[in-house]
Amino acid sequence: MTKDGIGNAMDEMENSDEEFEGEAVAAEEEEEEEEFGELLRYTLTGYLGGLILGFVLDNFGFQTSAVGQWLVRTISGEGESILEGLYALRKRLSGSKVGMAEAYGWGKLLGMTIPWWIDWGSRIFGVDVYGVEGFYIPYFYAMSDQIGGNFSGLLHLRRRSGTWRGAFTEYFRHPVMVAGLVVIFLVPIGLFLARSIGFSPSTQVLTALETIVSNLCWLPPLVGWLRERQDSKE
């Protein structure tokens, strides 16, 4: 074979590899978009469950029950994390390739227990959980799983890119990760302002509503779902 023939063969192999890699990335992105649509439905299910539980507890006279608040906040703020964790487990048992949404779901599941310790520890140390000083409690119920999801997503990008620089570059280009980072910093400001002007979770329904409004974890999956719809139209 001539040098020109060898060169042409090598060029064809390189082009073939690039096309294969492009198809693999496109397939992974399509799978991730479908996954995030499913995670969005989990979030709405958690909201509904928290409101129903709060209504039932209020009607039975447990408006300020500490255990009741723990359950209501867990379901309202982290109910989707339980479902997302089950989703991640199902994906893992199916043997499919680890995608962003699966890594996101594992991170949220692992992060959901943090607010339990913060809540009960604050009560033990005498923090007024109904006043301004207790504004951080619903924040962690609403957002600790989001923090865990973002961190787990970053680690997934690190493994995929091979470097931290590449991971952060992909992180800030990924709309779901950026949306998660924004809500992590905005939610505590809103909670503090609401408590400052007199809001207090004096019933279980109000507890659920405070947690639901704070739980902007639906925003990142919504961004992923909208991206899926936009790409499907194109």
Q: Which helix (H) or strand (E) holds 126?
A: none
pLDDT of residue 156: 81
Q: Is the pLDDT higher at 225 or at 12?
A: 225
Over residues 7-30, the pLDDT tens digits come to 554 455 455 444 444 444 444 555
For residue 227, which of 177, 185, 192, 181 has the smallest C-alpha distance?
177
Over residues 181-222, the pLDDT tens digits come to 999 999 999 999 999 999 999 999 999 999 999 988 778 777
Percent of the chain topping pLDDT 90:
35
Over residues 57-76, the pLDDT tens digits come to 999 999 999 999 999 999 88
The tally of domains found in the chain comes to 1
| pTM confidence score | 0.70
Could you tell me the residue range of the domain that residue 24 belongs to? 3-233
According to the per-residue pLDDT averaged within each range, which of 2-6, 22-26, 38-42, 108-112 is highest?
38-42
pLDDT of residue 13: 46
Q: How many CB atoms lie within 10 A of CB 103?
A: 23
CA 191, 178, 86, 232 torsion-angle sign: positive
pLDDT of residue 215: 85
Angle at 47 between CA 44 and CA 50, to 5 degrees: 150
155 has pLDDT over 70: yes
CA-to-CA distance for 117 and 67, rounded, in angstroms?
Answer: 13
At a CB cut-off of 8 Å and minimum separation 6, what does 166 contact?
157, 158
Amino acid at the residue 226: L
CA distances from 187 to 142, 147, 183, 203, 213 (A): 9, 12, 6, 21, 9
